[in-house]
Structures are given as C-alpha cells and as structure tokens.
Amino acid sequence: MSFLLPLLISLLLGLLLWILRGRTRKPGEPPLVKGWIPFVGKALDFGKDAHKFLEEHKREYGDVFTVRIAGKYMTFIMDPLLYPSIIKQGRQLDFHEFTNKVAPLTFGYPPVLRTAFPGLWEQIKRSFQLLQGDHLAPLTESMMGNLMLVFRQDHLNGESDWRRGSLYEFCCSVMFEATFLTIYGRPATGVRHGGMDRLMNDFHKFDNMFPFLIAQIPIWLLGRTLAVRQKLISYFLPQHMAQWTNTSQFIQRRAELFEQHDELKDVDKAAHHFAILWASVGNTLPATFWAAYFLVSQVEALKVVRQEIVDVLRDSGVDFSNSSDIMLSKEQLDKLVFLESAINESLRLSSASMNIRVAQEDFSLRLDSDRSVGVRKGDIIALYPQSLHLDPEVYDDPQTFRFDRFVQDGRGKTDFSKDGQKLSYFLMPFGSGSSMCPGRYFAINEIKQFVCLLLLYFDLQLEDGQNRPGLDPSRAGLGILLPSSDIRFRYRLRSV
C-alpha cells in the first residue's frame, strides 16, 4: 500500500501532464506551435497583437501553421492565393458550428438546434435575403429619411458658427439612431424613440464586453454585463415592438417566424432581435467613424469626394442648398466611385475580422494543385484578412490612406495581385463564402449616405495637435476595430 499510492499519484500526474501537454505533430500536418503554457498555449501572445503574432509566425513557419490557442488548435492559412480553396471547401469545413455555439451564449437566446426548433435555422438564414437585392432600395430610402431627420433636428438648426465635437461620438449618435429607426421602425407616437442616448450607452457597455463573451467567459464573471444585457433585451419584447410602425420587412419577417415557434419565450424572441441590433451597428459605427476621419483628415480627398457628390446630385437636376433636405437613391449612391473607394480604403485599414471554419472530420485539406495538409476533426481553420489588407506586396505603402486606391479608369478597381497572380479575394471586411455578412450592401450604402450629408452640409476640420488615432486591439478577430481614442473636430454649416 505504502508504495502503491505514490505510484498511482505519479501515474495520474503523468496522465494529466500528457493531456495538458496536448498533441504532437503527425506527418503531413502543418508545423505546430503549442506554447509552453498547458491548455492556454499562445492565447496571450495572440490576444496582445494578433496581426504581429501571425506575421512573426509566418516568417518562422511559412504560410500554413497550427497554433494552440485556449485549448483549440487553429490552423492559419496566411497566403491569400490559397483563400479560394478554403472558402470553396464546403463539405468538410463548417462555419455555423462555431456561431451556433457562441452567438446564443453572447446574446442570451437558446441555441437554434434543429431538434428543439425544427426549420427555424433555415428560416432565419432565408430572412437575410430581405437585406439585399430588391429589398435594398426601400431600406436605403428609409435610411436616407432617418439620417436626414436626425441631422436636421440635432445638427442643422440654423447656427452658422463653428461647433466643437468628438468625431466618434458624433458618428455613433447619428448612425445608431438612424439605423435603429430604419431596421426596427418608429414609435407609436412621434418620429423618434425616447431614451435613445440611454439605449446607446447600454449598447456600448455591452459592446465593451463583447470580446469576453465571444471568448465564452461566463457572463456572471463580467460585472454588470448580465443586467445590462437583460435591459437591452427587454427593449425588444414583443409588446413593445408591436407598437412600432415602419418596421423593416426584415424584422417583421423575423418576428413572424418567432411567433411560429411556441417553444420560444418572449424574452428569447427579444434576445434574437437584440442580436440583430449588435449585427447592424456593432461594426457600422466604427466603420463610419474611420471613413469620416480619414476623409476629414485629408483635404484633397475631402474635396474630390465632396465634388463627386455635388456632381451626382446635379446630374439628376438637384442643385444642393443647405436649406433643403436631400435624397440620394440607391442608383445615385452606386455612382459615387471615389466615395466607395474611400470607404473601402478605410475598411481595409480598420477591419480585423477572422474567418473561421471547423473541420467536420479528419481529412487532407487541399491548398492548391500540389499541396495538401492534414487537419483533425474539431480543428479550426482560420483566415486572417488583416494580414492581406496590410500586405505591401498587394497594397503599396499599406499603412497610408489613399482615398482613390480602389478606383481605376473611373470605375471600381478589382485588380490586385500577389506574386504576379491576380487575387480572387483582396478585401474581406465582411467575411467570406456562405457566412458572408448579409448586411454588407446596406452597410456600405448607409455609410455613404452619412458621409454625403456630413460633407454636403458642413465645413469640417480636425482640431490641431492630434495624432492619427490608434486601433484598439481588444476586438481583433471580431470585425472593425474601434479607435483607441476619440478625435476632436470643428464643424459649421456650409454657406451654399
């Protein structure tokens, strides 16, 4: 007995160490980087600066390598010429396994399992079409009216003196409310919901905790986040939403779908609607800021883009004057190639979303005509397009904002290459393949509309002595990065 106990303990310790040490590389698998901390692996280094981490590992291990991050094995594909083979690989690589697990925990609704809610997942997917195609024109028209309403009432009230503001705060307050009105509709009485500031503040509190929730940190460990989330969700309870008018077809359709599933409680339906609030403004607010900031910070870019907007209006018989409201249709917005290029360029510089697929079985992943690597069931295959967006071989002088980088011969430029080969994917702020953001066309249109109003109605200047704001890395992998600090600016009504 006296020698059996130590033997048992050392056997158990050995087993535990073996489990914590993780797996070893098999022939045919990519180089494996485990880090020295059991389970955690390289999570801390990755979290500190994902772009730098991946670039350093690419230099050491080549274009494809596997990293242990918080118990998961993630295989990064760094060469953008290999992206098509990952994006088109549907059968063995699944995107939704990941979101179906993480989104319910983050937003607080029950997992949309096929067994518990037959057909709901497919119906939700189909509802995304109501953000695109023929449905885009009415959405865009409604957004224009709502932006004009908020601009007119809050910022166009006659004074022609310089006013001071903080640019991120300005962009957020206008875009949050106008997007909310467009997607969810107007209150039963009046044209604007009361308490939008409070709702947006709560949204920001939740949003600050978003990276922790996505990392599956239990919400009860995150201070008041649970209470804040409950407050946000309660805003969307069916009895409140039933009173709203002009609600988008997209949200109406989703509300109808949820009604068909008796198993969903009212609070679950509200949580689904809340998730759409995050999807519709979580990235759009910082993306709007970056587009506005870069344009205001470059006098030449601002001049060209403003002139383009004035010309498109004039071509349709409208001479702009600051006393009248303007309306820009989807067709007019499509003609704004320099503005679209400036927005794309700001997305290139600010987006850091990770495209994730989960291997459904052990298999050999074909990378190109003469290369394959072994991956194991449950492994994550990841694309990190920020590396592509900042690759000097693809984008000359990649840290510089060039408003016309995406214009060629008066049209949108799509011709970008690496190693002399044309890239199928060169700008990926909206993800890729079957999981690509369904709100992307609406998002670009609403940012265009916002910038049009800003440039048409106001003279704009950044206050002196401020550096280009940094990118707050806390959201790396999750979408558009927030500015690490706000920017002070001055604006006054233009005399036209």
Q: For 354, phi and psi rounded to 5 degrees?
A: -105, 135
> In this chain, which stretch among 29-37, 112-120, 298-306, 428-436 interacts with ligand HEM, using CB under 6 A?
428-436
Residue 243: Cβ-neighbour burial (10 angstroms; 0-12, 13-18, 19+): exposed
In the stretch 286-325, what mask flags binding to ligand HEM with x, by CB under 6 A? -x--------------------------------------
Tell whether residue 437 is among the known ligand binding residues: yes
State which of positions 469-488 bind ligand HEM (CB under 6 A): 479-480
- Segments of 160-287 assigned E as strands: 163-166
> In this chain, which stretch among 18-26, 48-56, 80-88, 438-446 interacts with ligand HEM, using CB under 6 A?
438-446
> What distance in Å separates the CA atoms of residue 91 and residue 307, rounded to the nearest whole number?
48
> In this chain, which stretch among 167-175, 196-204, 230-238, 279-287 interacts with ligand HEM, using CB under 6 A?
279-287
Q: Please answer whether residues 203 and 260 qualify as being in contact, where contact means their C-beta atoms are separated by less than 8 angstroms.
A: no
From the CB of 138, what's the least distance to ligand HEM, in Å?
13
From the CB of 112, what's the least distance to ligand HEM, in Å?
10
Among 353, 352, 308, which residue's Cα sits nearest to residue 455?
Answer: 308
Number of residues that bind ligand HEM (CB under 6 A): 24
Q: Binding of ligand HEM at residue 430 (CB under 6 A)?
A: yes
Q: Binding of ligand HEM at residue 435 (CB under 6 A)?
A: yes
What type of residue is 179? T
User: Of these, 429, 473, 477, 483, which contacts ligand HEM (CB under 6 A)?
Assistant: 429
Among 85, 89, 86, 109, which residue's Cα sits nearest to residue 99?
Answer: 109
User: Of these, 261, 436, 490, 492, which contacts ligand HEM (CB under 6 A)?
Assistant: 436
Q: Binding of ligand HEM at residue 280 (CB under 6 A)?
A: yes
Q: Binding of ligand HEM at residue 284 (CB under 6 A)?
A: yes
> What distance in Å separates the CA atoms of residue 492 and residue 155, rounded to the nearest whole number?
9
State which of positions 7-66 bind ligand HEM (CB under 6 A): none
Distances from the Cα of 151 to the Cα of 83, 171, 173, 280, 310, angstroms: 41, 11, 10, 20, 18
> What distance in Å separates the CA atoms of residue 228 and residue 150, rounded to the nearest whole number?
26
* DSSP 8-class letter at 189: S
Q: Please answer whether residues 64 and 76 qualify as being in contact, where contact means their C-beta atoms are separated by less than 8 angstroms.
A: yes
Q: Please answer whether residues 492 and 164 qualify as being in contact, where contact means their C-beta atoms are separated by less than 8 angstroms.
A: no
Q: Angle formed by the axes of helices 249-259 and 266-281, to 10°?
A: 150
From the CB of 384, what's the least distance to ligand HEM, in Å?
12
Query: In the complex with ligand HEM, which residue's Cβ is closer, 196 or 436?
Result: 436
> What distance in Å separates the CA atoms of residue 164 and residue 491, rounded to the nearest whole number?
7
From the CB of 219, what's the least distance to ligand HEM, in Å?
21
From the CB of 27, what's the least distance to ligand HEM, in Å?
32
> In this chain, which stretch among 56-64, 371-379, 413-421, 427-435 interacts with ligand HEM, using CB under 6 A?
427-435
Q: Please answer whether residues 416 and 424 qualify as being in contact, where contact means their C-beta atoms are separated by less than 8 angstroms.
A: no
Query: In the complex with ligand HEM, which residue's Cβ is closer, 226 or 436?
Result: 436
From the CB of 35, what's the least distance to ligand HEM, in Å?
25
* DSSP 8-class letter at 467: P
Query: In the complex with ligand HEM, which residue's Cβ is closer, 130 or 365?
Result: 130
Q: Binding of ligand HEM at residue 150 (CB under 6 A)?
A: no
Query: In the complex with ligand HEM, which residue's Cβ is closer, 438 or 473?
Result: 438
Q: Tell me how long the chain is.
A: 496
Query: What is the C-alpha R_g of the chain?
Result: 25
User: Of these, 86, 147, 302, 443, which contacts ligand HEM (CB under 6 A)?
Assistant: 443
Instruction: For the beta carbon of residue 372, count every other beta carbon within 10 angstroms.
Output: 13
Tell me how far apart the terminal alpha carbons of the chain are, to the nearest angstrom.
95
Q: Binding of ligand HEM at residue 353 (CB under 6 A)?
A: yes
Q: Binding of ligand HEM at residue 425 (CB under 6 A)?
A: no
User: Of these, 41, 108, 438, 483, which contacts ligand HEM (CB under 6 A)?
Assistant: 438
Identify the residue whose tokens are 């290459």. 417
Note the Cα 244 to chain centre separation in Å: 27
Query: In the complex with ligand HEM, which residue's Cβ is closer, 40 or 436?
Result: 436
> How many helices (H) and strands (E) are present in the chain, helices listed first?
19, 17
State which of positions 108-147 bind ligand HEM (CB under 6 A): 128, 131
From the CB of 437, what's the least distance to ligand HEM, in Å?
3
From the CB of 154, what's the least distance to ligand HEM, in Å?
21
List binding-site positions for heme: 437
Q: Which residues define the annotated binding site for substrate?
A: 283
Positions touching ligand HEM (CB under 6 A) are 99, 128, 131, 183, 279-280, 283-284, 287, 353, 355, 429-432, 435-439, 442-443, 479-480
Binding site members: 283, 437
